[in-house]
Chain A
Amino acid sequence: MSWLLTILVFLPTVGALAVMAAPRGLSRWLSAVFTGVVFLLSTWLYIGPMISSGGNAAVFGNVSHPYWVDQAPWINVAIGSLQLKIDYHLGADGLSIFMLILNALLTFLAVLGSGNISKRQREYMALLLLLETGVMGVFCAFDLYLFWLFWEIELIPMFLLIAVWGGQRREYAAWKFVIYTVLGSAVMLAGILLLYFNLGSQTGVYSASFNWLATHHVSGNLTVLGLTMSSQLIIFLLIYTAFAIKLPMFPFHTWLPDAHTEAPTAVSVLLAGILLKMGAYGLIRICVDFMPSGAHQFAWPLAILGVINMVYGGLCSLVQSDMKKMIAYSSVSHMGYVILGVAAAVGPGATNPAFKEAALTGAALQMFTHGTITAMLFFSVGVLYDRAHLRDINAFGGLQAKMPRLTWIYSFAVLASLGLPGLSGFVAEYLVYTGSFSTFPILVGVAAFTVIITAGYLLWMLKRSFFGPLNPKWNGITDASILEMTPLITLAVLVLFVGVFPQFMINLLHPSLNNIIQTISGAVTASGR
């Protein structure tokens, strides 16, 4: 055991307890220290292996052989015909590492960016830290049951964060969030049980360890309510339901605009930046890797739903007048890229595996891209909202005269979001489009309109609120402070860096994703489709 992952997961919990125990005045500093330390430690996940291997990214390994492992036996029963084994098994390969670092970074920035929270600050900070524990756990759990346990930890902190510190309709939004999430995780548990017992009875080994599940796939058919389907497809659909809700995929997306709009700024940042990625991560890591032929059978519907997400989310964004709601729908649209990329990776046709890997890499990069860029958008809107207490796009106008700094960084975020070459958004979208074109040419043709729609709503919003003649109402508005600019600039640097040097991210992801692609092609060849 290296303990690093354990520390990353549970240090925030310790922080939450410390924050609750410490005097009120210290809560902000204390939580900044804890999240800061977690972030610094998380970077070692990347730096450590790189140093020890002399810069060879292959060292990060894949789902079967992750570089970082923390493992201890936890629950193990074998009586009668029952074998239940749940290990405390944490692991991190390239795909996990990059989500773990993103989570640590965004939580740190969210704490820094929560200076405007004066109401019950101590509890707020403690809940942010608890949230971090849950999400860290999701990204490094390497046992399916453990994954499910961590998956649900996030529920209560997020619910309370929206319900207490949210906007006007916070109660409605918080409850909607809970209902969707809990339904999803109940269905996921049913899927996990089905997978565990079917695979166990087929192979004779009952294990929910990722190593095992990635190399041994369930086979055969299952009959449910008189309907016979392949086991993999049923399990895929059950488990994916939870991820589809989290992603969110059309038609399960309706909780997102409410939750995003009502949540306080930093929580919106975390929602968009991290929580949606849990769904995407689960789709790639669990659904695709453990049920490859189930995913393969579902590739067409997945691709179509992904394109609906992209186009429909974009069209919804066009008509929003609330800035936050517009960004929320743009999240729906952007997460569609992830779905399309994954669908192409598992999709039909004997296309060159390089294209498939490009699509999957694009999907994974889109997770990062969307996380950072949407975080920037939400932070910017938060700055504006703190001053104006309004988010109505049409109520502003010509703000660039009074807020040059914010205008600059906001425009940067907008351009990154619509995929300007040289910034990270472009890399991800380009890879998704290129990778999926040969598999779904017509769908990609339709999806390409998203680029135009995205540019439309974002630039139109920018024009209406920041450019043009200054609305005299906002004569007294002040520009973003240095503290407010800190998270924005940090993220901007990251977005620019990945946009210019995407290769280092691609190298990090390559060992994990390549392994998944091989799994898929193996399964597809075996099933003869």
Chain B
Amino acid sequence: MSPTLIPLSSNDMWILSPEIAMTALALLVLSLDFLIKRREIIAFVSVFGLAVPAGLLAWIESTPNHPVYGFYGMYTIDNYAIFFDFLFLLIGAGVVMASYDFVQRYMRSSGEFYALLLFSLLGAMLMASSRELITVYISLELTSFPLYVMAGMLRKDIPNDNASSVRSTEASLKYVLLGAMSSAVLLYGMALLYGITGSTDLGEIAVALQRGFSGGPNSIVLLVADTFIFAGFGFKISAVPFHMWAPDIYQGAPTPGTLFFSVASKAAGFAALIRVFAAGGLLNAGSFYLWGFIAIAAVATMTLGNIVAIAQSDIKRMMAYSSIAQAGYILVGFTAVAYQPSNQTGISGMLVFLAVYVITNIGAFAGIIAFANATGSEQLRDFDGLFRRSPALAFGMILCLMSLAGIPPLAGALSKIYIFVTAWQEGGLLPWIVIIALINSVISIAYYIGVAYRIFVKNPPREDRLRVSAAISFALAVSVAGIIAATIFFQPLLNFGVSGAQALLK
């Protein structure tokens, strides 16, 4: 192909319109911050501005026979991408609402935080839609760079912790260094893959791998490429053994940032991971070793996350390990997909689980942020007797934690059953992995109920009533309502996830 300017069609612009709207919104928020330093307006614009890309998405989705591919197949807006795009927009709204007071009090910069958040989400949306390795990589970097800054944005110490702003800076530095390394690993893997197949387009890679290549399915080069790519995304989703950054950075970062890492980075990582491995045909071409590698990663991720979480005394560290464990459950679904790549069930299980996890985690972190706003503490022991200091906050938090623990009948339990069922029905070794996952669920009860135990059973250090601001109450209430709605109307969510999975493997 000659290096001339490739003409773009209006279709390309149309399917990219949600992302364009997102860019405009982020720039608008940035300039608003520059022009008028009014936090309420900026937050308002950020949340309600998300309606524009959401509306565009809904419009595209509802248009029959809308173009699915653009930019010569490099970019797609299939149901899989739409599923994730909506998830990312939801994350945006949730995090902005949950961070409203915290940003003012401890970060002293509202506009920047929101603009960074929107840019990161833009990257995440691109990640879900990319069908080409370079685009995937660039989107990944666009997602990650704002995160590095957000981790270091704590400018003022939390009252009960004198070193918190220092730790925030440290977290930021660690995040940059480790993030850069993981990007390098990912790129290496992609380069190897390009070397094998001669293409960076996922569709062409799949075709090339299916056609056969030197070394065959057991080729060491392919296995190394798979492993490196998995490692690169594994960093984003905090899969063991690439999870080391999570606890330190979760603890050090300002809590709204932590919330954002735990949902957006994870969802984006999974979005790209699944697309590259499934649409790129890596799973089809993969050997038993690849499956074994993924299975071991899944088992190690959930087991380590759950066991180490029990010993934590800082709630953010605990939530970090909890999020590692949850990633492990999702990887159980991925193990099933790797086992039987043509099957869409495992992918739909992962999507549904991820969506419920996102909704729930926003609620749990909204509770933590509200608590930090009111008391200035993020230590687990300070949650003692929270129920008497603020029943509504305590109720919301307990509900979210129970859903994360997978206590029936909450949505967390349903999505967990669903993902386990999708894995179980593949047969072979999968039922054993599900049994390990079930044992893990039992272990996880210890720390999730442990927090509920502190909140409800223990005596509070002080009898005062905690003041919770309207914005964060709203975020928590929406999350709780979301969990209950996802419980009762689990079927529509499931249909959405299934359609996403089917689009991916068409």
Chain A contacts to B: CB under 8 angstroms: 20, 73-77, 79-82, 84, 120, 123, 145, 148-153, 155-156, 159-160, 163-164, 171, 178-179, 182-183, 186-187, 189-190, 193-194, 197
Contacts and interface: CB of A to CB of B under 8 A. Distances in A.
List the 4 shortest-distance A-B pairs measured between CB atoms, nearest first. Answer: A149-B408, A82-B345, A152-B408, A149-B409
Given A149-B409, A186-B439, A197 B424 contact: yes
Contacts of A145: 417
Contact of A156 (B402, B418, B490): B402
B456 A178 contact: no
A163 B453 contact: yes
A190 B434 contact: yes
A163 B450 CA distance: 12
B166 interface: no
A82 B348 CA distance: 11
Interface of B: 342-345, 348, 387-388, 391, 402, 407-409, 413-414, 417-418, 420-422, 424-425, 431, 434-435, 438-439, 441-442, 445, 449, 452-453, 456-457, 490-491, 494, 498, 501-502
The CB with the most chain A CB atoms within 10 A, among B387, B408, B498, B502, is that of B408
Contacts, number: 94
A440 B425 CA distance: 40
23 contacts: A73-B491, A75-B490, A77-B494, A79-B498, A80-B345, A81-B345, A81-B425, A82-B425, A84-B418, A120-B388, A149-B408, A153-B407, A153-B408, A156-B402, A160-B452, A164-B457, A178-B449, A182-B442, A186-B441, A187-B438, A190-B431, A194-B431, A197-B424
B23 to A, nearest CB: 35
A193 B424 contact: yes
Given A79-B344, A79-B501, A148-B408, A159 B449 contact: yes
Nearest to A184: B442
Nearest to A188: B438
Given A74-B491, A82-B345, 18 more contacts: A20-B391, A73-B491, A75-B491, A77-B348, A79-B345, A79-B498, A80-B344, A123-B456, A145-B417, A149-B409, A156-B449, A159-B449, A160-B452, A164-B456, A183-B442, A190-B431, A190-B434, A197-B425
Nearest to A73: B491
A74 B438 CA distance: 24
B438 A186 contact: yes
Contact of A79 (B348, B434, B438, B453): B348
A75 B453 CA distance: 32
Contacts of A73: 491
A74 B442 contact: no
Contact of A149 (B413, B434, B449): B413
Nearest to B440: A186
Contacts of A190: 431, 434-435, 438
The CB with the most chain B CB atoms within 10 A, among A123, A148, A189, A190, is that of A189
B392 to A, nearest CB: 10
A148 B501 CA distance: 28
Contacts of A80: 342-345
A187 B435 CA distance: 8
Given A163-B457, A178-B449, A153 B409 contact: yes
A41 B245 CA distance: 57
A500 to B, nearest CB: 41
Contacts of B449: 156, 159, 178
B260 to A, nearest CB: 29
Nearest to B491: A75
Contact of A75 (B343, B414, B422, B439): B414
